[in-house]
A and B are shown apart, each in its own frame.
Chain A
Amino acid sequence: MGLVVAAYDPGSHVGGLFHALLPDTNSNLARAKDKPCMFLESGFETLQLALLASGAVATRLRYYSVGGAQVMGASTNLNIGLKNTDALQRLLAARGMKLTNLHLGGHTCRSFYLSIETGEASVLLSGQLNEIML
């Protein structure tokens, strides 16, 4: 239901990721200040700032996103996975940004891997043995 946003700069080999639980920072501003990566929007800002502070160059950053699965047969109200992916699309559109690659939606839980050394990004779907390279 939550989703991972990752960014990697192949020039400086600086990368990072966060796992957002909820889409809307405004739903709890105090919490967003305390734990920004719980929310998509504040998490995105925090990740960017952290990477730039560590030597990444903004124009070189490759962005990935994984998750937002509908892991329950949920009504729209309870479908937080869908709300998270919609919020990500809006956030990227507002910034005129595009993801280098993504693995979003669907109905399956997954794990995401990012190699800081090589920049390789991959996804492992629940119950599967082989990772999918992004």
Chain B
Amino acid sequence: MTAIEDYLSRVKNLPPAPRVLPELLKLLRSPDVDADKVVHLIKYDPSLTVSVLQLANSAFFGSARPSEDLGEAVTRLGFQQVYILVAAVSGARNLTPEQKGYGMATGDLWRHSATTAVAAQLIAKDLDDDVDLVFTAGLLHDIGKVILSDTLESTYSVIVHETSQNRYSLLDVERRVLGFDHAEVGGRLLAKWNFPANLTAAVEHHHQPEKAGAHARLAAYAHVGNLIAYSVGQGYGNSSYAMEPSSAAFQILGLDEDSLPNYMMRTLDQMNVIEALFRVKT
């Protein structure tokens, strides 16, 4: 048993798996998406059902007549909108709580993750890649932090000191303190949840996408999305030195580094819409 497997086996209360995501992704990959099957996946989850209905009935979609039928709501929103909403709501359950070990207040990790997902998705759309898959990789890239936060709480001052005074990246500090990092833990957690290999690899290697083998492109999206989220000020917590940008990630995507400011602005615009939708929902 490796150090991570041993660690994960000892963690009490692992977060609940967002099981619906890999199944929904698979469903939406098929050439003829079956709306009934999409409804079937969502309808057993009350909070997802409520979210889809509320969004379909929100002013954002300009609905004159409220829909009480999930099937109608799914059709009205469109599969992609439904997927993004389901991913955001499922992710929010795990990512919203306070992460004390990282100095992140309630909502901080969710906001950082959603910003990463939105940024990565905007780039994927421009580069004609799979936006749903990229959004999911971005949303879940830091899921390992949910697991490590409790453990790191006792070493909070070490993290602050090592990142701000000694200029170690957060990833390096985790490796020095624990022997492994949040990216590796996140990848293992997704594997444990039976997520597909591409998402597992993208999360595990989001800090060094070139090491993700066949899934380097997806990992590069998570990396650049993460970089943009930090660049617009989302998700530092107590670590002042957040990450080491990888020029390999830009090369893998064929993306010009000078495009970063433009994507920062577009991401902020999109996040305003998403946060407004979440306010509508709650």
Give the interface of A toward B (CB within 8 A).
1-2, 21-22, 24, 27-28, 31, 38, 69, 71-75, 77-78, 80, 107-109, 125-127
Q: How far is the CB of B277 from chain A (nearest CB, A)?
A: 20
Q: How far is the CB of A92 from chain B (nearest CB, A)?
A: 22
Chain A residues whose C-beta falls within 8 Å of the C-beta of B160 in the assembled complex: 126-127
Check B245–A78 contact: CB distance below 8 A.
yes
Give residues of chain B (210-234) contacting chain A, Cβ–Cβ below 8 Å. 227, 230-233
Q: How far is the CB of B163 from chain A (nearest CB, A)?
A: 8
Chain B residues whose C-beta falls within 8 Å of the C-beta of A73 in the assembled complex: 167, 169, 241, 243-245
Determine if B257 is an interface residue (Cβ-Cβ < 8 Å). yes
Chain B residues whose C-beta falls within 8 Å of the C-beta of A125 in the assembled complex: 164, 240
Check A72–B244 contact: CB distance below 8 A.
yes
Give the interface of B toward A (CB within 8 A).
103, 157, 160-161, 163-164, 167, 169, 227, 230-233, 236, 238-245, 247, 257-258, 260-262, 264-265, 268
Chain B residues whose C-beta falls within 8 Å of the C-beta of A31 in the assembled complex: 265
Q: Is the interface of B mostly helix, strand, loop or mixed?
A: helix
Check B257–A77 contact: CB distance below 8 A.
yes
A24 to B238: give the CA distance in the assembly, Å: 29
Check A127–B245 contact: CB distance below 8 A.
no
Contacts A72-B241, A72-B243 known; 11 new A-B pairs at CB < 8 A: A21-B268, A22-B261, A71-B241, A72-B227, A72-B230, A73-B241, A80-B231, A107-B241, A125-B164, A126-B103, A127-B157
Check A126–B245 contact: CB distance below 8 A.
no
A48 to B242: give the CA distance in the assembly, Å: 33
13 contacts between A and B (CB under 8 A): A1-B230, A22-B265, A24-B261, A71-B236, A71-B240, A72-B244, A72-B245, A75-B257, A109-B236, A126-B238, A126-B240, A127-B163, A127-B240
